[in-house]
Amino acid sequence: MYQKKNFFNAAEALSGIIMQTPLLWSKSLNEKLGSNLYLKAECLQHTGSFKLRGAYYSMHREFIRSGKRDVVAFSSGNHAQGVAFAAKLQNVKAIIVMPTDAPESKIKNTIALGAKVIFYDRYTESREEIAQSLANKNDAFLIPAYDHKDVICGQGTVGLESFHQMANIGRTIDRFYCPIGGGGLIAGSSSALNLLNPNTKIIGVEPESLNDTQKSMASGKRETIEIQPNTLCDSLMAKTPGEITFKINHSLVSSIDTVTDQQVIESMRFAFDEFEIVVEPGGAASLASAIAAINRKEVTEEESIVVVLSGGNISKERHQNLIN
């Protein structure tokens, strides 16, 4: 589906819009773990997650094709903020369909960025139908959270950036750990990395109660699960893999791991203690998986591991309550 030029074009369009997030590394940490671990800190990205990449790039491409118009999206928070901020930069209006149980901090941040928020009940209503109706009514561009080729390409710049950052220090990426909600981030990143180094092992990570992609990979077709209320990982609450994303991930992702809420909390604490960075539960899932694999001795000390910390949108109070 993608060629190298697609990701390079996306990176060029995003230059000056997003920040190149750092790869965090700690000598003492890696000596303690017996590993060679690097953390791709997308939690430090503008709007607090990687989602700005896909949101802005999809708008950029759509507006070139069809001219500027207002936008609509559906999201529990991170995509919402990415779309709201990208719309502000493009000087268009944004309407965001958000679940009533979305974290209050994400709702407030989305509104503060200038978007209009429409609420729905994620257990009884279809966000896709509501968003499509709003897009039709307002002649607006509907930006899916993940199942869109330009959104996926924009998210793939996380993998592209990681590859070049590691190359700059003379290393290749042996293992790339990435969280999975609908699958856009890992689909884009695995596509970019496969083009640049097909030997990189891609490991997707889901909460154990939200393992729709793991089940889909096992059966070879898209499976649907019941959304579990009260899970910590609100940013990973997809009940079915995307149609486009699953096709890519089924082909390129090496394996899917799952983590518990307790493992997620421990990885949030780990990131804060070691690097003084705040990571939300869904954003810390891949770190939890990587640490577990290291502890199980599945990873050698010689292997270079990149872990995506995908988001940091959590209130200070909730973060401290969880890690303490």
Could you read off the pLDDT of 98-131 as tens digits, one per residue? 999 888 889 999 999 999 999 999 888 988 999 9
- 3-class DSSP state of 276: coil
**Residue range of the domain that includes 127:** 51-146
Mean per-residue pLDDT, 281-306: 95
- The DSSP element (H or E) to which 201 belongs, if any, is strand 201-207
What are the strands of the beta sheet with 305-309, ordered from one edge? 23-24, 37-41, 305-309, 175-179, 201-207, 255-259
Q: Are residues 105 and 224 in the same domain?
A: no
Last residue in a domain, options 90, 125, 146: 146
Last residue in a domain, options 146, 179, 199: 146
Supply the mean pLDDT for the chain. 95
Helix locations, the chain, DSSP H: 4-14, 27-33, 51-66, 78-90, 104-112, 127-138, 149-155, 157-168, 184-196, 212-219, 243-252, 261-275, 281-295, 316-323
Q: How many domains does the chain have?
A: 2
Residue 231: predicted pLDDT: 79
Could you read off the pLDDT of 130-146 as tens digits, one per residue? 999 999 999 999 999 99
CATH number at residue 247: 3.40.50.1100
What are the strands of the beta sheet with 116-120, ordered from one edge? 116-120, 94-99, 71-74, 141-142
- List the structure tokens of 158: 């996380």
Could you read off the pLDDT of 168-182 as tens digits, one per residue? 999 999 999 999 999
- 3-class DSSP state of 189: helix
CA geometry: angle 11, 17, 18, nearest 5 deg: 70
The percentage of residues in the chain with a pLDDT greater than 90, rounded to a whole number, is: 88
Q: Are residues 121 and 173 in the same domain?
A: no
Q: Are residues 214 and 177 in the same domain?
A: yes
Specify the range with the lowest mean pLDDT, choosing from 32-36, 189-193, 198-202. Answer: 32-36
- The set of long-range contacts for 107-113, using a CB threshold of 8 Å and a minimum separation of 24, is 107/77, 109/47, 109/48, 109/77, 109/81, 109/313, 110/77, 110/80, 110/81, 110/84, 113/47, 113/81, 113/84, 113/85, 113/88
Residue 229: predicted pLDDT: 63
Q: Are residues 292 and 281 in the same domain?
A: yes
Q: Are residues 67 and 132 in the same domain?
A: yes
Q: Are residues 313 and 170 in the same domain?
A: yes
Q: Are residues 142 and 154 in the same domain?
A: no
- Angstrom CA distances, 53 to 78, 98, 114, 291, stand at 11, 20, 18, 27
pLDDT band at 17; cut points 50, 70, 90: very high
Q: Are residues 35 and 56 in the same domain?
A: no
Last residue in a domain, options 93, 125, 146: 146
Q: Are residues 117 and 222 in the same domain?
A: no
Specify the range with the lowest mean pLDDT, choosing from 52-56, 76-80, 141-145, 262-266. Answer: 76-80
More confident residue, 189 or 234: 189
CA geometry: angle 46, 307, 170, nearest 5 deg: 100
Q: Are residues 157 and 108 in the same domain?
A: no
